[in-house]
Amino acid sequence: MEGLGINLGYLISQIVNFIVLLVILRQFLYKPIIAMLDRRSEKIKTDLEEAEAARSKAEAARQEYEKQLEEAREERRSILAQATEQAEKMREDILTKARAEAQETVSKTQDEMEVLRRQTLIGAQDQIVELALAAAGKVSGESLDEKAHRRLIQEFIAEVGDLG
């Protein structure tokens, strides 16, 4: 080997040095780097799991929020429907009362008009009787007794009233 320019003592010492260097590097550099990479890998895995858990929690919170929002919308619809229904009922009650009051007012007015008409007719009949008695007395020159005149005039007024 010396012919090739290789010294066996140097070669062995180089091999021993290389093996010692590998052992030292493995012990002091490779294991810590692997351990650090394992820790880093574990931390990344843990962080990913935490991120997934946070995402799941956020998704659950979002779904809960949407559920509450939908419930609030439904409650709003219900309240609006109730308010509309109550307003409609109040409107109907007010209209019913107004119609009843108007009908009552019309009825009272008609009753008052009927009473007034009857009073007017009675007053007019009395005046007609008196005028007829006076006219009959002047025309005939004689005077029938007042009872007979009144009876004749009442019959005449009744006939005229039946015609009208």
Is residue 1 over pLDDT 70?
no
The region of weakest confidence among 6-10, 37-41, 67-71, 80-84 is: 6-10
**pLDDT at residue 142 is higher than 70:** no
Tokens representing 16 are: 């021993």
Average pLDDT, the chain: 87
Percentage of the chain lying above the pLDDT 70 cut:
87
- pLDDT at res. 27: 86
Domain ranges of the chain: 8-163
Instruction: Report residue 73 as tokens.
Output: 């919308």
Most confident of 4-8, 24-28, 48-52, 158-162: 48-52
Section 33-57 average pLDDT:
95
pLDDT at 144: 62
Kindly report which listed range (17-21, 69-73, 122-126, 139-143) carries the lowest average pLDDT score. 139-143
DSSP class per residue in the chain: -TTTT--HHHHHHHHHHHHHHHHHHIIIIIHHHHHHHHHHHHHHHHHHHHHHHHHHHHHHHHHHHHHHHHHHHHHHHHHHHHHHHHHHHHHHHHHHHHHHHHHHHHHHHHHHHHHHHHHHHHHHHHHHHHHHHHHHHHHHSS---HHHHHHHHHHHHHHHHHH-
> pLDDT tens digits for 80-95?
999 999 999 999 999 9
Give the pLDDT score at 61: 96
Between 125 and 70, name the one with better pLDDT. 70
- Model pLDDT, residue 2: 66
